[in-house]
Amino acid sequence: MKEVPTNEVLPPVLALDAIDESEEGSVIVIGVEGSDRNVAVWGGLMTAGAYVNNLAGAVLDAGVRDVTEIRRDYGFPVYARSVSPGTTLGRYKTEAMNVPVECGGVTVNPGDLIVADIDGVVVVPQKHVDQVLERALEIEQREAEQAKYIRETKSLREGIKKYNRI
């Protein structure tokens, strides 16, 4: 999205198209160019559309509004820079859809894998998904073994010593 003069009121048409046209399981990623990245580019109505189209989530380099409604009514995962009641109408317009976008200082390309949870958001380039998944599973298994060892020995130091990692 790009900043527009405040007298030009445009709905985020391409973002709305993306919600209705994306494949099931897709993640909508919205980047914002301009001075106010805290303005809400996503809310309850967009969530309703994403939910009924079986999208997997939204990642926003901007704000979100209607958080209570989104959590209560949909349980839909939205990861945003901030929470804001301010709307994009009159502030921003959508420029493109299904193109690389800058989000949180990272370039996200169509088809990249987005992994997100309460700890944050990670973008895995499509060409590296298999390698990253394999490595992530190895790390997960090793950390589970290490955590079990720490519980058994009742010593963090022994767990770090044996597995040589923290």
Read off the tokens for 166: 């923290």
117 plus 140 within the same structural domain: no
Would you state the pLDDT for residue 3? 44
102 plus 33 within the same structural domain: yes
pLDDT at 5 > cutoff 70: no
Higher-confidence residue of 32 and 75: namely: 75
pLDDT at 135 > cutoff 50: yes
DSSP symbol at 85: S
Instruction: Work out the pLDDT band at 10, boundaries 50, 70, 90.
Output: low
42 plus 76 within the same structural domain: yes
| Dihedral (CA of 87, 92, 95, 98) sign | negative
pLDDT at 21 > cutoff 80: yes
| Total tally of structural domains belonging to the chain | 2
* Mean pLDDT value of segment 39-65: 95
89 plus 138 within the same structural domain: no
Q: Where in the sequence is the domain holding 20, given as residue range(s)?
A: 2-124
pTM of the model: 0.83
Q: How far apart are the C-alpha atoms of 151 and 29, rounded to whole Å?
A: 40
pLDDT at 105 > cutoff 70: yes
* Mean pLDDT value of segment 38-67: 95
pLDDT at 7 > cutoff 60: no
The CATH number covering residue 45 comes to 3.50.30.40
Residue type, 89: L
Q: How many CB atoms lie within 10 A of CB 148?
A: 11
Please write the tens of the pLDDT for every residue from 116-125: 999 999 999 9
Please write the tens of the pLDDT for every residue from 58-95: 999 999 999 999 999 999 999 999 999 988 777 777 78
Cβ burial of 35 (10 Å; 0-12, 13-18, 19+) is: exposed
118 plus 148 within the same structural domain: no
107 plus 158 within the same structural domain: no
142 plus 120 within the same structural domain: no
Please list, in sequence order, all residues whose beta carbon lies within 8 angstroms of the beta carbon of residue 158, skipping any fewer than 6 positions away. 149, 150
